[in-house]
Amino acid sequence: MEQLATFGAGCFWGVEALFAAQQGVTSTTVGYMGGHTTDVTYNTICQGDTGHAEVVQITFDDSVITYSQLLQMFWQNHNPTTPNQQGPDFGTQYRSVVFYHNQSQQELAVEMRQKLNDGGSYNAPVITIIEAAHSYHVAEDYHQQYLLKRGKTSCSI
- Annotated catalytic residues are 11
Whole-Å CA distances, 115 to 41, 69, 75, 96, 125: 35, 15, 12, 17, 11
Nearest Cα neighbor of 66 from 150, 2, 149, 136 is 2
Count the Cβ atoms, other than its own, within 10 Å of residue 93.
26
3-state secondary structure of 81: coil
Q: How far is 74 from 72, CA to CA, in rounded Å?
A: 5
Cα 148 to the center of its chain, rounded Å? 18
3-state secondary structure of 73: helix
